[in-house]
Amino acid sequence: MPIPFVDLKRQYLSIKEEVDSAVHRVLMSGNFAHGEEVEAFEEVFSRYIGARYCVAVSSGTAALYLALMACGIGPGDEVITAPNTFIATAEAISTVGGRPVLVDVNPASYTMDPLALETVITRRTKAILPVHLYGQPADMDPILEIAKRYHLLVIEDACQAHGAKYKGRRVGSLGEAGCFSFYPTKNLGACGEGGAVLTDNLEIARKVRMLRDHGSDRKYYHKAVGFNCRMEAIQAAVLKVKLEYLDEWNTRRRQHAQLYSNLLSGTGLILPLEMPYAYHVFHLYVVQSTCRDELQQALADEGIATGIHYPVPIYLQEAYQHLGDGRGKFPVAERVTEHILSLPLYPEMSDGEVQTVSRQICKFLPH
């Protein structure tokens, strides 16, 4: 039986009645943009993350650029981030006119290396944008300490880390602002697009709220040039239902990750590590193999879907050639890019499926 990389239909079927009734409620209300549903989700999600304010927006990408803009990042400003992330992280910096400045990552955690961070700070640096990649928090204490010393803002890209914790505190609540995506395949996913900015800072919350709705604080009165980045009511209603299950789903992800790690030890694969400071929520279970492409093909031949997150680091993307960072500039990110493979992992997967994937890997890899 084929094993897909994710299976959103299984998740829907597991909570169908609640989701259907939430969607029906919105359809019957006739209020599709903004409004009570969105406010209700903002309330529960801010409480869940442990931040004072949540402003729901139309995507994770929008959350990132609206947060950057609300933090005053603009043309000419440099924002430090990691090279091995989804393009949206860098794109958001470019959207506000800033320049992404990359630093290499820690090979054990795949997240920003705080030791490398200090070496790229210049007079133009305004912010640090760490990415909690694959569900593992970046090492926030040294990052926050450096930010404080150089008077920089920290904005978290928590788009892959809903519910992850750094030293017991949920990510998204640690910097000046935290950005989430509710893209359908994320740990907390909408039935469409969605995102949110979390912050304790009232000024930032106000600005994001204004910018997401054409720069207005009341209808047809515009204080700033903004965007249409509102969250849809249907997405908010669905997300509020799903938030109730997030911890349970993350627990299942962690159990599957543990099972993979048990079954794959001794194969020679480099397995994911949970850093001592972290509560990892395994948005992705990423291994490294010296024969990655062959392994991926062998699994595909058995009907097992895998992914590569991501096949090209930011600075080697065609879109970012102007950064001028050539091959070899970030050796860790570049080396792992050649070897990483994401295995199927979602809460609704059965233990048997994890065992099947593991068995096929063991069959392929010579011990």
Ligand X SMILES: *Cc1c(COP(=O)(O)O)cnc(C)c1O
Which positions lie near ligand X, rule CB under 6 A?
59-61, 85-86, 88-89, 131, 157, 159-160, 181, 183, 193, 195
User: Six-digit token pair at 343?
Assistant: 């295995």
Please report how many Cα atoms fall inside a 13 Å half-sphere around the Cα of residue 358, on the Cβ side.
21
- Of 73, 33, 41, 9, nearest to 208 by C-alpha is 73
The least CB distance from residue 184 to ligand X, in Å, is 9
The least CB distance from residue 154 to ligand X, in Å, is 16
The least CB distance from residue 179 to ligand X, in Å, is 7
| Contact present, 143 and 154 (Cβ < 8 Å) | yes
Nearer to ligand X (CB atom), residue 59 or residue 267 = 59
The least CB distance from residue 318 to ligand X, in Å, is 19
Nearer to ligand X (CB atom), residue 193 or residue 353 = 193
Helix-then-strand count for the chain, H and E? 13, 14
Task: Indicate the helix (H) or strand (E) that contains 126.
Answer: strand 125-128
The least CB distance from residue 298 to ligand X, in Å, is 27
User: How far apart are alpha carbons 157 and 89 in whole angstroms?
Assistant: 7
Nearer to ligand X (CB atom), residue 46 or residue 59 = 59
The least CB distance from residue 220 to ligand X, in Å, is 28
Nearer to ligand X (CB atom), residue 156 or residue 325 = 156
Q: For CA atoms 1, 186, 193, 247, give the dihedral sign.
A: positive
User: How far apart are alpha carbons 102 and 89 in whole angstroms?
Assistant: 11
Nearer to ligand X (CB atom), residue 58 or residue 199 = 58
Nearer to ligand X (CB atom), residue 86 or residue 346 = 86
Residue at shortest CB range from ligand X:
60
DSSP labels, 155-189? EEE-TT-TT-EETTEETTSSSSEEEEE--TTSSS-
